[in-house]
Amino acid sequence: MTLAGPPLYGAEPCALSGRVFAGRYQVLGALARGGMAEVYLARQTGMEGFEKLVALKCIADRHAGDEYFLAMFLDEARTAADLRHPNIVQTLEVGVDQERAFIAMEFLHGASLSRVLKALARDGGAVPVDVALHVAREAAIGLHAAHTKADLQGRPRGIVHRDVSPQNIFLTVDGVAKIVDFGIAKAHDRSIETTAGGLKGKLPYMSPEQLEGEDIDARADQFALGVVLWEMVVGRQLFRRDTEAKTMDAVRACVLPPPSTLRSVPPALDGVLARALAKSREQRFPDCAAFAAALERLEEGLGVAVRPSRVAAFLHQALDDDTKPGTPATLGAPPDQSATPRASGPSSVDPSAPTLTHGSRLSATEAAAVRRRAPLVAAAATALVGALLGVVLLWPDAAPAGGQGDRRAALDGTDAGADTASAPLDAASTPAAAVAPVVPDAGLEVAASADAGEPRRTDARPVRPKKTHAPPDQETPAAVAPAGEGTLWFKDVDPYYVAVVDGVAIGPTPRRHRVGAGAHRVELRAPETNAVVLTREVDVPAGSTLPIAAR
């Protein structure tokens, strides 16, 4: 069959549309193509009308007879084939049809964490602490399952993912976090090593020992997940700098600004992250299970039981900026020149910096209303193909307007309202000048998972963030604040500052922060020196947005 009308879940008609693999996987369209493999949306059929969607990854025709590429392809399949865990994407079948190798994989609905962080970064937001802890804990549990997997003889397989990053953590619309893409994983039963002697993974998420080419173990994945968690709660990248060399230097130095000095997060999180991100692996948690247990204790300390429905509501809210009703939006595949640098050998690259913009969001209540009006058609063929796959989110044609709901469920847990607990800013606060904005997809053009972990890279020159010169009344309006509240809009992007409201640091700019209507004292401080750049007494009318900028 061929596709008629709009592409189904982002799958484009292709030469293989209608072909049936192994008598049960009917190709519906192409989702992604890489140097080594191609990924298709397929319908699995069975007895009595059984059918479901799957992602079908096939070795590219041009490599069909290449034993080396076939070995790499099958290594990937072998590594992930028997990893059956709720927090790991599932491989359904590995086979050969008409001399063409394929992997049938679980078809997921949702978006990569990378895509979510990119959406939040446009508004200077971060993942709410409770959601971040829950997502990181589920990812840690999934990683531990992979790390401790044994073969059929009971021997440890020694699996290390080696590429834990926001691109390879997937959030489903049901609120479940899954680890994807074991394309460059280390395992004792791999027949070959990818780019032997080269770096494997993404530089900003490598542990110091991985960066130095040492033999690594599961604690390298723990370190990478610690970086991801830090970035989720802070809203900025930890180690990434404007060149590959500087990024490597930052990883080697392993300087960790405590998150509580940058955002309103529990100080106990500082200690947990300091351990997971210890420069010496001997000082980290013994395994990801212990890391997950520490995160669970932090969750319990918040006094709120985080359920998948909370993560699902956050996902809907976070991605509303980037979707228009009835219009497909690519949520998993990085756009051109928007992928995190991933090391596969020596090279020099300058990742681009983001352009930060603002868009309105649905409240959790409005998102729930959307789901009641029409089912969310959101699908991502991810599985082992990670960031390269087309993850598509289709929203209903109509959405309720102006619902107030629980606005405290803001994307940035520090900005829920004027009474949000925050740590006072003082001169002893850890400088954050070198911390880059979180845009996991900014930088180089990369072909990732469909190439079994060996990306094609192109140099990209740095692009400075664009400043918005339009007057305030031409800016994209924010969601209406609840009665009795207004919004402070801290607009500075490049350079950014630390925003302070009534003596309390609320985090780096750009950001929006709701406050009670009335008089407030606002400051902007330089992140390196803590010097006051701007001091202003303002009066915030109820229901209005007041822009604040250094100049």
Domains and CATH numbers, the chain: 20-106 (3.30.200.20), 484-551 (2.60.40)
Is the predicted pLDDT of residue 445 greater than 50, yes or no?
no
The predicted pLDDT at position 326 comes to 30
Q: What is the mean pLDDT of the chain?
A: 71
Spatial separation of the C-alpha atoms in residues 378 and 391, rounded to whole Å:
8
The predicted pLDDT at position 493 comes to 58
In the predicted model, what is the mean pLDDT of residues 399-415?
31
Q: Report which of residues 497 and 455 the model is more confident about.
A: 497
Spatial separation of the C-alpha atoms in residues 320 and 386, rounded to whole Å:
22
Phi first, then psi: give them for residue 282, nearest 5 degrees. Answer: -65, -20
Is the predicted pLDDT of residue 121 greater than 70, yes or no?
yes
The predicted pLDDT at position 198 comes to 53
The predicted pLDDT at position 399 comes to 31
Q: How confident is the model at residue 528 (pLDDT cuts 50, 70, 90)?
A: low
Lowest mean pLDDT among 6-20, 54-68, 276-290: 6-20
In the predicted model, what is the mean pLDDT of residues 520-527?
87
Q: Which amino acid is at 335?
A: P
What is the torsion angle, in degrees rounded to the nearest 10, for the CA atoms of residue 7, residue 116, residue 202 and residue 241?
130
The predicted pLDDT at position 527 comes to 66
Q: How many other CB atoms are there within 10 angstroms of residue 252's CB atom?
A: 14
Question: Taking the alpha carbons of 366, 263, 144, 34 in that order, is the dihedral positive or negative?
Answer: positive
Residue with tokens 């995160």: 295
Is the predicted pLDDT of residue 123 greater than 70, yes or no?
yes
Which whole-number Å values give the CA distances from 431 to 37, 334, 524, in the listed order? Answer: 44, 31, 14
Q: How confident is the model at residue 207 (pLDDT cuts 50, 70, 90)?
A: very high
Spatial separation of the C-alpha atoms in residues 310 and 306, rounded to whole Å:
6
The predicted pLDDT at position 489 comes to 86
Spatial separation of the C-alpha atoms in residues 6 and 546, rounded to whole Å:
41
Local structure of residue 160 (DSSP, 8 states): B
C-alpha closest to that of 130 among 293, 336, 291, 314? 314
Is the predicted pLDDT of residue 5 greater than 50, yes or no?
no
Q: How many other CB atoms are there within 10 angstroms of residue 73's CB atom?
A: 24
Q: How confident is the model at residue 32 (pLDDT cuts 50, 70, 90)?
A: confident
Is the predicted pLDDT of residue 365 greater than 70, yes or no?
no
Q: Are 19 and 100 in contact (CB under 8 A)?
A: no
Q: How confident is the model at residue 341 (pLDDT cuts 50, 70, 90)?
A: very low
Cis peptide before 471 (omega within 30 of 0): no
Element (H, E) at 348: none
Q: How confident is the model at residue 217 (pLDDT cuts 50, 70, 90)?
A: very high
Q: Report which of residues 129 and 373 the model is more confident about.
A: 129
Alpha-carbon Rg of the chain, whole angstroms? Answer: 23
Spatial separation of the C-alpha atoms in residues 223 and 240, rounded to whole Å:
15
In the predicted model, what is the mean pLDDT of residues 437-462?
34
Per-residue model confidence as pLDDT tens digits over 56-65: 998 887 777 7
Bridging pattern class, strands 25-33 and 37-45: antiparallel
Predicted model pTM: 0.60
Q: Are 333 and 391 in contact (CB under 8 A)?
A: yes
Q: Residue 473: CB partners within 8 Å, gap ≥ 6? A: none
The predicted pLDDT at position 453 comes to 36
Is the predicted pLDDT of residue 537 greater than 70, yes or no?
yes
Q: Tally the residues of the chain.
A: 551
Spatial separation of the C-alpha atoms in residues 151 and 318, rounded to whole Å:
40
The predicted pLDDT at position 403 comes to 35
Which whole-number Å values give the CA distances from 549 to 34, 244, 485, 496, in the listed order? Answer: 44, 31, 20, 10
Give the residue numbers marked as catalytic. 163
Q: Are 415 and 514 in contact (CB under 8 A)?
A: yes
Is the predicted pLDDT of residue 455 greater than 70, yes or no?
no
Q: Report which of residues 349 and 9 the model is more confident about.
A: 9
C-alpha closest to that of 10 among 388, 492, 338, 291? 388
In the predicted model, what is the mean pLDDT of residues 218-240?
97
Is the predicted pLDDT of residue 6 greater than 80, yes or no?
no
The predicted pLDDT at position 9 comes to 66
Per-residue model confidence as pLDDT tens digits over 235-263: 999 999 999 999 999 999 999 999 999 99
Q: Report which of residues 438 and 242 the model is more confident about.
A: 242
What residues are paired with 534 via a beta bridge?
A: 524
Percent of the chain with pLDDT over 70: 64
Spatial separation of the C-alpha atoms in residues 177 and 110, rounded to whole Å:
10
In the predicted model, what is the mean pLDDT of residues 332-345?
38
Per-residue model confidence as pLDDT tens digits over 161-201: 999 999 999 999 999 999 988 867 777 666 555 444 456 77
Beta strands in 34-188 (DSSP E): 37-45, 51-59, 91-97, 100-106, 110-112, 169-172, 177-179
Is the predicted pLDDT of residue 413 greater than 60, yes or no?
no
Spatial separation of the C-alpha atoms in residues 77 and 131, rounded to whole Å:
31
C-alpha closest to that of 59 among 2, 98, 8? 98
Is the predicted pLDDT of residue 388 greater than 80, yes or no?
no
Phi first, then psi: give them for residue 361, nearest 5 degrees. Answer: -130, 155
Is the predicted pLDDT of residue 88 greater than 90, yes or no?
yes
The predicted pLDDT at position 551 comes to 75
